[in-house]
Amino acid sequence: MNLRNRSLLILSLTFFVFFIVIAAVSLSVTLSGLDRIEHQRMADSINQTRSAIGQESASVLSTARDWGWWDDTYQFAADRNAEFIDRNTDPSALATIRINLFMILDTNNTLVHGIVLPPDFETGSPVSAEMEALVRNTPSLVSPVASEDGVSGILATPDGPMIIAAVPVMRSDRTGPARGTLVMGRLLEHDPLRRISEMTDYDIAADWQGKTGAGTVAPDIRNRLNYEGALVVVPVNETHITGYSAMKDLSGQEIILIVTTGRDLYRTGYANIVTYLALLALWAIMTGLIMVIVVDRTVLRRMGVLTDHVRSLSGRPESVPQPVLTGNDELAELEKTIISSRRDLLMREEQLRVFVNAMPGPAGLFTRDGRILLANPVFTRVLKGPGEDVTGTRIQSYFPPAELEKFERFIQEAIRTRDVVQFENDAGDKTFLMSYYPVLDNNGDVIQLGFLAFDISERKRLENALQRLTKKIALLNTVIFSDIQNKVFVQTGYIELLKSRATDPQMKSFVEKEEAIIRDIQGSLQFARQYNEMGMSPPRWQNVMEVMLFAISHLDLETVRRDFRLEGLFIYADSLLERVFIALIENAIIHAKGATVIRAGYTLEGDEAVIFIGDDGPGIPEDRKDTIFEKGFGSEGSGSLFLSREILSVTGMTITETGAPGKGARFEIRVPKGSWRFTAK
């Protein structure tokens, strides 16, 4: 997928996700708010219904007082006259006051008279034993009435919840004593709830245990109504919502009040949020289209043109294109930068090509697997022939099997060490210095290798001639040294004969001076021989630890302890490196009186490796730290510090004394970059 399609897809997905998030948040916040409002309105509806039921209860109590505080009722309670019953408690009379239950109890709570009317008040029937027992077992309803003013409330009866009122039977002037209790009841679900529903426009019902077994309210809702006054609101559908509230009747039984109302506010709010989201979606679509069109025309389409323009350059590697984008925005500037970079790249490639072609020897550039990227005419002529092109071929295909292994070994060495690898190669009567230069990427990995070869045949001939001349001079020096030593030996013999025959004290003094001169001549010859041996053999890579062990094998170190930590270090040094270590350790044995340990190790300081050899003897005074390396100073053994410094200088190394006087001597040999390396221990 190209950048243009990807960008358009990302913009589309961004607007889609943005709309989904806004819609989800808006719906969540709005619906949550509507739910809270509905819950509050349902609580108000329940309270309003409870208040209406309370008013109905007060009405029944008022009617009961009118009947209970009446002289006729008071007289009936005393004499049980049938006339009172016939005249006042027939169904038509009770229907007038809309009473479904009429009971008179004496002071012993025995039913004196009772009648129950159905909801239509057409006929009456005696009070059932179950109803009588329910009333008698409700303490607040029987005599003596808890309050002289009477009590009222809801009672779950076998015929359904009733609004019950009970008052003591008294005279009209409310004098007594009370002769019993008057109980009146009105069925809640028929007349009261119907009138409350008509008044409030609510659909009101009641549910109680025993109506149909365990009741009609779902068990989970009933469990949530765990205290009186608790409210549970359940949406029925999109147009109606139902609230459930628990209340206790006069006997303590739970009655659940069910109120169902319309969801006008919810539907209005939901319609508003849907309208808002529709407008938001329309805005998002319009804004997205505008942004897509603007971004496409101002950025993406121009980037596509720029991409096609840059891609077309792959077929014209030597050309410098002209700008195709107009304006001075970032893309136009980017195109100018690309063209400028390409111009600079072509110029540098041409400079590199001219430089490589100007090399007198073979030169080229190839990948780490051997594919040739660049080759000068000399290299091409060596590999294939004049006028041929070797670019893209593999360099391994041009080497005979006998030489391929050697070249591959040095290539792998350059890749492994990430450093320049050089070696000499003889080709017929010529000698070439071959060099591999690794090219690293940003991660430090070798991705390409440069190759240069220089004809060093003339230099090798001069080196060989110089080496032969050096050997001849060394041979001449050896002959002269031997001749002089022989003469000195003869001279020493004559001096011994002269000493044995000289009796004159002055003559003996002259002979002793002659002996001292002879010894100086022998020391000078010994030093000249050692100095003459420097450079006789070419420098080579040497294992420092092995050379140190060879050096101490010539010395007596029984009185001092050795602590050498030089494992793995190799240095490029003259073949006389062993004599340097002999001189340094011998210097410690002779001059470091009281020393108990000789230490040797190395540290790395920048590009240099520092080899140190020290002891715990008295050390070297500050005023002698430089003079000890002059000719004439040093140990009395097989070498001297002056000679050691000269041997080290052959390969660019230096030596200094850095010890603290009184704490021991410490000689530091500094090995320059390129003259030290590490190998596996």
DSSP states along 501-512: H--SHHHHHHHH
pLDDT of residue 516: 74
Contact criterion met (CB below 8 Å) for 518 and 488: yes
pLDDT confidence of residue 639 = 45
In angstroms, the CA 280 to CA 18 distance is 10
Dihedral pair phi/psi, residue 224, rounded to 5°: -75, -20
Residue 103, pLDDT score = 92
3-state secondary structure (DSSP) of residue 183: strand
User: What does 245-269 look like in DSSP terms, one character per residue?
Assistant: EEEE-TTS-EEEEEEEEE-HHHHHH
Task: Note the pLDDT of residue 474.
Answer: 62
Read off the pLDDT of residues 244-269 as tens digits, 9 standing for 90 and up.
888 888 888 888 888 888 888 778 88
Whether 537-678 and 359-455 are alike in CATH topology: the answer is no
d(CA 116, CA 100): 6
pLDDT tens for residues 338-393?
778 878 877 877 777 787 777 778 888 888 888 888 888 888 877 777 767 788 88
Q: Which CATH superfamily is domain 359-455 in?
A: PAS domain (3.30.450.20)
Domain range annotation of the chain: 359-455, 461-532, 537-678
pLDDT of residue 637: 38
pTM for the whole thing? 0.44
Give the pLDDT confidence score for residue 63 in this predicted structure.
Answer: 93
For residue 132, give Cα distances in angstroms to 116, 127, 135, 200.
11, 7, 5, 34
Dist CA 438 CA 430 (whole Å)? 26
Lay out the sheet containing 430-440: strands in order across.
372-375, 363-367, 446-455, 430-440, 421-427
What are 411's two structure tokens?
Answer: 């290539």
**Residue closest to 86 by CA, chosen among 142, 132, 135, 124:** 124
Long-range contacts of 32-39 (CB under 8 A, 24+ apart): 33/269, 34/265, 34/266, 34/269, 34/270, 37/265, 38/233, 38/241, 38/263, 38/265, 38/266, 39/231, 39/233
Taking the alpha carbons at both ends of the chain, their separation in whole angstroms is 54
Q: What per-residue confidence (pLDDT) applies to 638?
A: 38
Mean pLDDT, consecutive 10-residue stretches, the chain (681 aa), reads 68 80 82 83 86 90 92 90 87 88 90 90 88 88 69 87 91 87 88 78 78 63 77 84 87 85 81 84 81 74 73 64 74 78 78 78 85 84 74 81 79 87 79 86 87 80 70 64 72 76 76 75 63 67 92 83 92 88 85 86 94 90 82 51 85 91 91 86 45
Name every residue whose Cβ is closer than 8 Å to that of residue 451 and which is 6 or more positions away in sequence.
362, 363, 364, 365, 366, 379, 434, 435, 436, 437
Convert 365-382 into a string of H (helix), E (strand) and C (coil). Answer: EEECCCEEEEECHHHHHH
For the domain covering 537-678, report its CATH number: 3.30.565.10
Q: Is there a cis peptide before residue 144, judged by omega within 30 degrees of 0?
A: yes
Q: At what angle do helices 301-312 and 330-358 cross, to 10 degrees?
A: 10
Give residue 315's pLDDT: 58
* Cα(264)–Cα(67) distance, integer angstroms: 45
